[in-house]
């Protein structure tokens, strides 16, 4: 087996690690950097630069691609917020996907990510002196199918054999060897350049289970840098009367200076900033203290509270239940960030591995496990939202519940909703509402060639499989004919971590409405099936029952059909009861007329 590497493909920075004699090491890039900016730039003379070289290229912000991870596997109508944050141009692709437009050419996000991965691969090969082909690549725990698939595709384009797509918090815990210890609960606190994630994991004896994840997709080091830039712009205006707000090139330079000041203040109490322009031949200087930085960013620090509390609440835990805290992301080096977390969870964080290297180290260990160099670790992750399909009446029928450990496999039998139905349309959904309309559609497909028969008779087995990479495979098979269709969810499954939170919250808000609609849809389904079935039985058995019973049954059927004209579930249920009682004469007279009324879910 050739050498395998672990890659933390970050929003802002990426990092590579590998095992040397069984121990993980960071693989530096060609400039000696232990992390590589996830930046690609296309220069005016047609060159393509990746990493630190691209990051220094601040003069062409429109040709410099940053934060490509935010666009991975996402669709056009879901990236409005992201678009406002980037200086380069994105366009709508033919599949409603996002394309990056540079110098008259369009690139897909996986293509751009692949340029970063290719650079990491090349640099690793140069450092290690041997070819690298296999890799474990990490993604946030909340990444959905499309985002994971896009990451896998990026790996392939870069010429890598992707051994596994691994969750970042799982990798970080693995790096600390927390799987070896007694069973415990770990909180992984990840504040990177552009995103904030909190994950709670259950670990022990090689078992990894993500209990909950929360975060803020728009909170990271960039916000801290921006707070410093805003302060600098105001100071520059005040001291030298210059308004640089609209000067993109100057603002980009100030941003780099702001970041350097922020990093410096992690290890010293104050720093002097030299501005990128002189005034009357003298350098322009600004002093910034740690206290001042903390004051400028106090609202950003406060934004960390809710995701932490929400992750605890979702896992059903109190902060005192947390056994270990693991820090991930360069921003956790800022003393005020770590202090704020200590205030939230009264526990000293794990120490010893650089927070911006810990995920790559874990990925390298996982690569070692898969390559057989390390044994006996079983990895479990969970689905962030429930998965299922839409059934008759707009009901969401769950196949896989939220927080189920993956890999997982579930099969469910569905039946036809109409008489003579020859095809079934499956709409695959993700979300927590009982009604399909409140959930997110991931995709749909049709199974044709169903033998025409009475409603509820033809059965189709639908199985959902989530593989170890978290990718969803769906298989539907007509039980009678053996005719089947297999699909993978691609492209449509677009949920950011913020959306997972939003959808979960919305499902809670709409829970009352959804329950009412669900109750109504269920009553309607039952009523329609019951009325049809009894009418059918009645037409067959008319001669065998007394005229008064026949009249009573017809009356009950009419009342039930009338009730169906209104949206009153209780009224419909009363009428169902009335008809069921009247139909006793049929059940006595024949075999199982109403047997099918409590059928499996029907698919229109």
Q: Which stretches of the chain bind ligand AMP, using CB under 6 A?
A: 10, 12-13, 35, 192-193, 221, 259, 262-263, 266, 329-331, 333-334, 356
Q: Which is nearer to ligand AMP, 57 or 402 (CB)?
A: 57
For strands 98-102 and 105-107, give the pairing: antiparallel
**In the complex, what is the shortest distance from the CB of residue 13 to ligand AMP, in angstroms, rounded to a whole number?**
3
d(CA 604, CA 602): 6
Q: Which is nearer to ligand AMP, 266 or 408 (CB)?
A: 266
Based on its alpha-carbon atoms, the radius of gyration of the chain, rounded to whole angstroms, reads 29
Cα first-last separation, the chain: 50
Residue among 123, 149, 190, 390 flagged as catalytic: 190
Q: Which is nearer to ligand AMP, 339 or 346 (CB)?
A: 339
SS (H, E, C) 462-510: EEEEECCCCCEEEEEEECCCCCEEEEECCCCCCCCHHHHHHHHHHHHHC
Burial zone of 102 (CB within 10 Å; 0-12 exposed, 13-18 middle, 19+ buried): buried
**In the complex, what is the shortest distance from the CB of residue 263 to ligand AMP, in angstroms, rounded to a whole number?**
4
Comparing every residue's Cβ against ligand AMP, the nearest one is: 221
**In the complex, what is the shortest distance from the CB of residue 92 to ligand AMP, in angstroms, rounded to a whole number?**
28
Burial zone of 539 (CB within 10 Å; 0-12 exposed, 13-18 middle, 19+ buried): exposed
Give yes or no for a contact between 168 and 9, defined as CB atoms under 8 angstroms apart: no
**In the complex, what is the shortest distance from the CB of residue 221 to ligand AMP, in angstroms, rounded to a whole number?**
2
Residue among 69, 121, 211, 262 flagged as catalytic: 69
Residue among 82, 168, 197, 499 flagged as catalytic: 168
Q: Provide the edge-to-edge strand list for the sheet that holds 324-328.
A: 324-328, 184-191, 196-204, 207-216, 378-379
Tokens 């028969």 correspond to 453
**In the complex, what is the shortest distance from the CB of residue 212 to ligand AMP, in angstroms, rounded to a whole number?**
21
d(CA 191, CA 297): 14
Q: Is 190 assigned a catalytic role?
A: yes
Q: Which is nearer to ligand AMP, 169 or 329 (CB)?
A: 329
SS (H, E, C) 27-71: CCCCCCCCCEECCEEECCCCCEEECHHHHHCCCCHHHEECCHHHH
Among 79, 69, 82, 59, smallest CA distance to 38 is for 69
Q: Is 168 assigned a catalytic role?
A: yes
Q: What is the DSSP letter of 476?
A: E
Q: Is 8 assigned a catalytic role?
A: yes
Q: Which is nearer to ligand AMP, 159 or 335 (CB)?
A: 335
Q: Which is nearer to ligand AMP, 326 or 429 (CB)?
A: 326
Show the tokens assigned to 133.
Answer: 């082909």
Show the tokens assigned to 503.
Answer: 């959808």
Q: Which is nearer to ligand AMP, 359 or 530 (CB)?
A: 359
**In the complex, what is the shortest distance from the CB of residue 508 to ligand AMP, in angstroms, rounded to a whole number?**
31
| Kind and range of the H or E run holding 348 | none
Q: What is the DSSP letter of 352?
A: S
**In the complex, what is the shortest distance from the CB of residue 338 to ligand AMP, in angstroms, rounded to a whole number?**
10
- Which residues are annotated as catalytic? 8, 69, 168, 190
């Amino acid at each position: 087996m050739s050498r395998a590497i672990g890659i933390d493909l970050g929003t802002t920075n990426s990092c590579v690690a590998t095992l040397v004699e069984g121990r993980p090491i960071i693989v530096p890039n060609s400039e000696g950097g232990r992390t590589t900016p996830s930046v690609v730039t296309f220069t005016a003379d047609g060159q393509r630069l990746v990493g630190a070289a691209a990051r220094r290229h601040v003069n062409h912000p429109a040709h410099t691609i940053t934060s490509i991870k935010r666009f991975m596997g996402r669709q056009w109508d879901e990236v409005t917020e992201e678009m406002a944050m980037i200086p380069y141009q994105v366009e709508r692709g033919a599949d409603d996907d996002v394309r990056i437009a540079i110098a008259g050419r369009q690139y897909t996000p996986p293509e751009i990510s692949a340029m970063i991965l290719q650079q990491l691969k090349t640099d690793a090969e140069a450092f290690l002196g041997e070819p690298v082909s296999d890799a474990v690549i990490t993604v946030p725990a909340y990444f959905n199918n499309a985002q994971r698939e896009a990451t896998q595709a990026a790996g392939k384009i870069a010429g890598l054999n992707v051994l596994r797509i691994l969750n970042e918090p799982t990798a970080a815990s693995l790096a600390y060897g927390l799987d070896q210890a007694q069973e415990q609960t770990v909180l992984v606190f990840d504040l990177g350049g552009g995103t904030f994630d909190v994950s709670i994991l259950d670990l022990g004896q090689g078992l990894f289970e993500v209990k909950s994840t929360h975060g803020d997709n728009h909170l990271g080091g960039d916000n801290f840098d921006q707070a410093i830039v805003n302060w600098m712009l105001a100071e520059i205006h005040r001291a030298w009367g210059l308004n640089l707000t609209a000067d993109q090139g100057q603002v980009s330079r100030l941003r780099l200076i702001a970041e350097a000041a922020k990093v410096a203040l992690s290890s010293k109490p104050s720093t002097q900033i030299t501005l990128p322009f002189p005034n009357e031949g003298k350098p322009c200087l600004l002093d910034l203290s740690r206290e001042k930085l903390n004051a400028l960013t106090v609202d950003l620090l406060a934004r960390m509270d809710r995701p932490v509390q929400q992750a605890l609440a979702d896992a059903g835990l109190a902060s005192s239940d947390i056994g270990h805290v693991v820090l991930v992301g360069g921003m956790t080096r800022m003393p005020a960030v770590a202090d704020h977390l200590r205030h939230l969870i009264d526990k000293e964080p794990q120490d010893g591995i650089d927070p911006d290297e810990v995920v790559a180290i874990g990925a390298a260990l996982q690569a070692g496990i898969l390559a057989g160099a390390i044994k006996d670790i079983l990895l479990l992750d969970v689905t962030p939202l429930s998965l299922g399909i839409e059934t008759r009446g707009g009901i969401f029928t769950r196949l896989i519940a939220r927080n189920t450990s993956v890999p997982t496999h579930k099969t469910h039998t569905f039946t036809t909703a109409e008489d003579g139905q020859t095809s079934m349309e499956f709409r695959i959904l993700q979300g927590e509402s009982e009604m399909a309309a409140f959930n997110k559609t991931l995709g749909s497909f049709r199974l044709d060639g169903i033998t025409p028969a009475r409603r509820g008779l033809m059965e189709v087995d639908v199985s959902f499989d989530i593989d170890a990479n978290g990718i969803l495979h769906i298989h539907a098979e007509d039980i009678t004919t053996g005719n089947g269709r297999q699909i993978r969810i691609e492209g449509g499954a677009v949920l950011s971590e913020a959306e997972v939170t939003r959808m979960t919250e919305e499902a809670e808000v709409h829970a009352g409405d959804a329950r009412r609609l669900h109750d109504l849809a269920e009553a309607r389904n039952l009523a329609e099936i019951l009325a049809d079935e009894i009418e059918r039985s009645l037409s067959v058995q008319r001669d065998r029952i007394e005229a008064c019973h026949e009249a009573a049954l017809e009356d009950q059927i009419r009342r039930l059909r009338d009730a169906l004209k209104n949206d009153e579930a209780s009224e419909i249920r009363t009428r169902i009861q009335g008809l069921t009682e009247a139909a006793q004469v049929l059940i006595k007279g024949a075999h199982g007329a109403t047997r099918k009324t409590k059928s499996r879910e029907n698919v229109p």
